[in-house]
C-alpha cells in the first residue's frame, strides 16, 4: 500500500500521533489471526479524528493498540505507533505506564462494566490523579477529583465521591469515565464508542460536553464509532476501516459527500442517520477515479427505500384498522425498601390505531414503556385498564382456542439476535415449531413450508439442519422473522428487531421487512429507540415518554414539522443531524 496517499500535505508541525503500517494479530489455536493489517493514521495536535467501521473491522483493536492494551493474546506484530515522534509500540510495560493517563487518556465503551463495582467513584478518580502525579496530598487529590468530575458535568461532585458505581445512571458513569480520561490533562484522548450504550438524548449531551472539554484544553481526540453520521458530525478527519484495513480516510465532509471506495459508498447509503436526512451523495462514477469495477449495487439504498414508502403510504390511508388501542394502562407494583410498596405506571393511557398493511413506529428511550405495550398487545401480560382490539375484537377476554387464534394472527420478532433462537434446536425445527403447535399440515408439507419461508427471508435451504450458533446476528434475525411468518400472521410486532445489528445488515433487514410487507400485506408495529431507522420503515410515528404518547403523526410530519419539544430533542439527537450538507 502506498503510504504517501495517507500523509497530508507537508506541515511544519510534527504530528501528535502517527500510526505507520500497524499490524495486530491474535494468537488462536489455529495460529495467528490478523485483526489489523497495515493501518496508517496521522493526527495533528488538537485535532479530532474518527475511526468508523462495523463490528470486527479492527477499529477498537487499533485504538487499544495505540496504548498497548490489547485484550487476551493480541499483540502488535508490525509497524510503528509514533507519539510525538517516539515509537511507543516498542516501549516496555513500565515506560508505557507513564504514557497512559498522563499523555494519552482513554474513555471506554460500556459505562456499566468499566468502573470497579467495589470501590467508590471518588477512590477510582483519585487513584488516577495520584498515579499520574497530578496532585499529591489527600486534600489536593480530592480537590482535583471534584474539579475533574464537575468539569465532566457531574453535579454535586463533592457529595458523589463517596458513592458507588451502581448508584449512578449510565450517563453519570460515562461522565465519570470521561472525567477520569481527562483527569491528567492528556494530549490525546481515545474514546472507544463512548456513548453507544446510552439513550440518544443523553448521548448527545455527553458528546457535546466532551467536544467542549477537548476543544478548551486543546486535547486531540481519536473517536471510535460504528455510526458514520456520528463520526462525520464529531470529527474533522475520518478513517473508514473494513476487515482490518483502512479503505478510505480524509476530511469528514469530503468523504461523506464524495465517498469513493465502494465500501464507504455502501456505508453512506445504508447509514440510517444520514438516510433520514435525505443526504444526496454526490459521488462520481467510479471509473473516473481509476476503478475498473463498476459501481457496486448490492448494498441497500435506504434513501430510495424511504422515498418509495411515501407513495405506498398514500394508498394505505383508507385501509381498515388492524390494531386499535384505547386508553391502555399498565401499573406495576414495585416493592420498595422496608416493606413499603409503590407503583409504576409503565404504560399510562396510551391510544393508537394502525391501519392494515401499514407500519407504525413506537419510538422512545429506555424505560418509556414501549416494550410493555408490545407485551400487552401480545397478551404476554394483562393490562391494568384500557382496551386492545385486533381486527375489531377485544383481546382481553380471549381464552383457550380464541386466544390461540389471536396468537396465530399476531407474531413477534425480538431484539437480541443471540437470544431469539433456541440454541439446541436446528433452524428447520425452529421455523417449524409454530406449525407443530397449531398442527398445521403433515411432516412433508411442513418441510415444504420451511423451505418456502427460508426462501422468503433469503436464506439457503441447506440451513435446516444447522444450529443458531453457526449463523451471524443478521441471519438469526432472518430466521426469527421466518418463524414469525410461519403461520401467515397478519400482524408482526417488531420489538427493537434491528437494533443490535451492524448498519449494513440493519439496512438489509429493513429492506427485507419492507419487501415482505408489500408482498404479504403485513401490518407492523415497529418498536425502536432509534428515530433514525423510523424514516425508512414507518408510515406513522408515535413518540413515547414516561408511559405516555407525547406525539403521534405521519412520519413526514414528525420529521418535517415536529410539534413537541421532546420530539425535536430526539430528532436533534440523531447523529449527523447537524451536518450542513448541500442537498
Partner 1 sequence: MTGYIFRRVLQAIPVFFGTTFLIYFMVFAMPGDPVLALFGDKTPSPAVIEQLRQQYHLDQPFIVQYFIYIGGIFRGDLGVSFSGQPVADILARTFPVTIRLAILALLFETVAGILVGLISGLRKGKLFDASALTISLILISLPIFVIAFVAQFVFGVQLGWARTTVGPGAPIQDLVLPALVLASISFAQIVRLTRSSVIETSGLDFVRTAYSKGLSRKRIIPVHILRNSLIPVITYLATDFGVLLVGATVTEGIFNVPGVGNTLYQAIIRGEGPTVVSFVTVMVLLYLVVNLVVDLLYGLLDPRIRFVK
Partner 2 sequence: MRSAGHFVAPLEETPIAAIDDVKVAEKPSNLWIDAWRDARRRPIFWISGGLILLVLVVALFPWIFTQTPPNDQCFLSNSNGGPDSGHPLGYTKLGCDVYSRIINGTSTSLSVGLLVIVLTTVLGVFFGAFAGFYGGWVDATLSRLGDIFFSIPYILAAVVIMSVLSQYRSIWTISLAIGLFAWPSTARVLRAEILRVKQADYITASEALGVSKLKILFRHVLPNSIAPVIAITTISLAGAIVAEATLSFLGVGLGSDVMSWGNDINRAQSDLRTNPMTLIYPSAALSITVFSFILLGEVVRDALDPKARALR
CB 306 within 8 A of CB 313: no
Site for partner 1 in 168-197 (CB under 8 A): 177, 180-181, 183-184
Q: What are the φ and ψ backbone dihedral angles of 99, each rounded to 5 degrees? A: -80, -45
Site for partner 2 in 73-112 (CB under 8 A): none
State yes or no: residue 514 binds partner 2 (CB under 8 A): no
Q: How far apart are CA 225 and CA 533, in angstroms?
A: 17
Q: How far apart are CA 259 and CA 310, in angstroms?
A: 27
Q: Which three cell numbers stand for residue 404?
A: 390461540
Q: Which does 254 bind (CB under 5 to 8 A by kind): partner 1, partner 2, none?
A: partner 2
Rounded to a whole number of angstroms, the minimum distance from the CB of residue 214 to partner 1 is 17
Would you call 238 exposed, middle or buried from its count of C-beta atoms within 10 A (0-12, 13-18, 19+)?
buried
Contacts 24+ apart (CB under 8 A), 434-438: 434/483, 434/486, 434/487, 435/486, 435/487, 438/404, 438/408, 438/487
State yes or no: residue 455 binds partner 2 (CB under 8 A): no
Sign of CA dihedral 241, 245, 246, 248: negative
Site for partner 1 in 37-96 (CB under 8 A): 67, 69, 71-72, 93-94
State yes or no: residue 337 binds partner 1 (CB under 8 A): yes
**CB crowding 517-534: b at 16 or more within 10 Å, else e:** beeeebbbbbbbbbbbbb
Strands, E assignment, 172-320: 188-192, 220-225, 237-242, 245-251
State yes or no: residue 50 binds partner 2 (CB under 8 A): no
The one among 263, 524, 559, 566 contacting partner 2 by CB under 8 A: 263
Rounded to a whole number of angstroms, the minimum distance from the CB of residue 464 to partner 1 is 37
Site for partner 2 in 216-255 (CB under 8 A): 237, 242-243, 245-251, 254-255
Q: How many residues make up the chain in this entry?
A: 583
Residue placing its CB nearer to partner 2 in the complex, 147 or 429? 429
Rounded to a whole number of angstroms, the minimum distance from the CB of residue 27 to partner 2 is 14
Site for partner 1 in 91-110 (CB under 8 A): 93-94, 97-102, 105-106, 108-110
Q: Which does 118 bind (CB under 5 to 8 A by kind): partner 1, partner 2, none?
A: partner 1
Q: How far apart are CA 60 and CA 68, in angstroms?
A: 12
Q: Which does 27 bind (CB under 5 to 8 A by kind): partner 1, partner 2, none?
A: none
Rounded to a whole number of angstroms, the minimum distance from the CB of residue 42 to partner 1 is 22
State yes or no: residue 170 binds partner 2 (CB under 8 A): no
Q: How many residues bind partner 2 (CB under 8 A)?
A: 75
Residue placing its CB nearer to partner 1 in the complex, 98 or 212? 98
Q: How far apart are CA 181 and CA 107, in angstroms?
A: 6
Residue placing its CB nearer to partner 2 in the complex, 230 or 457? 457
Q: How far apart are CA 485 and CA 482, in angstroms?
A: 5
Q: Which does 397 bind (CB under 5 to 8 A by kind): partner 1, partner 2, none?
A: none
Neighbours of 405 (CB within 10 A): 12
Rounded to a whole number of angstroms, the minimum distance from the CB of residue 296 to partner 2 is 7
Site for partner 2 in 265-324 (CB under 8 A): 266, 289, 291-293, 296, 298-300
Interacting residues with partner 1 (CB under 8 A): 67, 69, 71-72, 93-94, 97-102, 105-106, 108-110, 113-120, 127-128, 131-132, 164, 166-167, 177, 180-181, 183-184, 336-338
Amino acid at each position: 500500500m502506498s503510504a504517501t496517499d495517507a500523509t497530508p500535505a507537508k506541515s511544519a508541525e510534527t504530528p501528535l500521533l502517527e500510526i505507520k503500517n500497524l499490524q495486530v494479530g491474535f494468537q488462536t489455536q489455529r495460529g495467528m489471526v490478523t485483526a489489523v493489517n497495515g493501518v496508517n493514521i496521522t493526527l495533528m495536535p488538537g485535532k479530532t479524528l474518527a475511526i468508523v467501521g462495523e463490528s470486527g473491522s479492527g477499529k477498537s483493536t487499533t485504538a487499544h493498540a495505540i496504548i498497548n492494551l490489547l485484550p487476551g493474546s493480541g499483540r502488535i506484530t508490525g509497524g510503528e505507533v509514533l507519539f510525538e515522534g517516539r515509537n511507543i509500540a516498542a516501549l516496555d510495560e513500565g515506560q508505557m505506564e507513564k504514557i497512559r493517563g498522563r499523555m494519552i487518556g482513554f474513555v471506554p465503551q460500556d459505562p456499566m462494566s468499566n468502573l470497579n463495582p467495589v470501590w467508590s467513584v471518588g477512590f477510582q478518580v483519585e487513584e488516577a490523579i495520584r498515579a499520574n502525579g497530578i496532585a499529591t496530598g489527600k486534600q489536593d487529590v480530592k480537590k482535583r477529583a471534584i474539579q475533574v468530575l464537575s468539569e465532566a458535568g457531574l453535579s454535586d461532585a463533592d457529595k458523589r465521591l463517596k458513592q458507588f458505581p451502581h448508584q449512578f445512571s449510565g450517563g453519570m458513569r460515562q461522565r465519570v469515565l470521561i472525567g477520569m480520561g481527562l483527569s491528567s490533562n492528556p494530549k490525546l484522548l481515545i474514546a472507544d464508542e463512548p456513548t453507544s450504550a446510552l439513550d440518544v438524548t443523553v448521548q448527545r449531551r455527553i458528546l457535546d460536553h466532551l467536544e467542549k472539554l477537548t476543544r478548551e484544553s486543546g486535547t486531540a481526540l481519536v473517536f471510535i464509532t460504528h455510526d458514520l453520521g456520528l463520526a462525520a458530525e464529531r470529527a474533522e478527519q475520518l478513517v473508514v476501516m473494513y476487515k482490518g484495513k483502512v479503505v478510505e480516510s480524509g476530511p469528514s465532509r469530503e468523504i461523506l459527500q464524495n465517498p469513493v471506495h465502494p465500501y464507504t459508498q455502501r456505508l453512506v447509503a445504508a447509514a440510517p442517520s444520514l438516510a433520514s436526512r435525505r443526504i444526496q451523495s454526490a459521488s462520481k462514477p467510479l471509473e473516473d477515479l481509476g476503478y475498473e469495477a463498476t459501481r457496486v449495487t448490492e448494498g441497500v439504498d435506504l434513501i430510495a427505500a424511504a422515498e418509495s414508502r411515501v407513495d405506498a403510504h398514500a394508498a394505505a390511508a383508507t385501509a381498515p384498522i388492524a390494531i386499535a388501542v384505547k386508553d391502555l394502562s399498565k401499573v406495576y407494583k414495585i416493592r420498595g425498601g422496608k416493606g413499603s410498596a409503590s407503583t409504576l405506571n409503565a404504560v399510562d393511557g396510551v391510544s393508537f390505531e394502525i391501519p392494515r398493511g401499514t407500519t407504525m413506529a413506537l419510538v422512545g428511550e429506555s424505560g418509556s414503556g414501549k416494550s410493555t405495550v408490545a407485551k400487552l398487545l401480545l397478551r404476554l401480560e394483562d393490562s391494568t385498564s384500557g382496551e386492545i382490539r385486533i381486527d375489531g375484537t377485544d383481546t382481553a377476554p380471549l381464552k383457550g382456542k380464541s386466544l390461540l387464534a389471536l396468537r396465530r394472527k399476531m407474531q413477534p420478532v425480538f431484539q437480541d439476535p443471540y437470544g431469539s433462537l433456541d440454541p439446541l434446536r436446528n433452524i428447520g425445527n425452529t421455523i417449524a415449531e409454530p406449525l407443530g403447535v397449531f398442527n398445521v399440515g403433515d411432516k412433508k408439507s411442513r418441510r415444504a413450508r420451511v423451505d418456502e419461508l427460508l426462501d422468503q427471508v433469503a436464506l439457503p435451504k441447506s440451513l435446516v439442519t444447522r444450529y443458531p450458533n453457526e449463523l451471524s446476528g443478521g441471519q438469526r434475525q432472518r430466521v426469527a422473522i421466518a418463524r414469525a411468518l410461519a403461520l401467515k400472521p397478519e400482524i408482526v410486532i417488531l420489538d427493537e428487531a434491528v437494533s443490535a445489528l451492524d448498519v449494513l445488515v440493519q439496512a438489509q433487514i429493513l429492506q427485507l421487512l419492507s419487501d415482505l410487507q408489500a408482498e404479504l400485506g403485513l401490518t407492523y408495529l415497529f418498536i425502536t429507540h432509534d428515530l433514525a431507522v423510523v424514516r425508512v420503515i414507518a408510515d406513522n410515528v408515535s413518540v413515547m415518554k414516561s408511559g405516555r404518547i407525547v406525539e403521534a403523526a405521519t412520519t413526514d410530519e414528525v420529521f418535517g414539522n415536529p410539534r413537541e419539544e421532546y420530539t425535536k430533542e430526539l430528532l436533534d439527537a440523531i447523529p449527523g443531524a447537524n451536518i450542513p450538507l448541500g442537498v
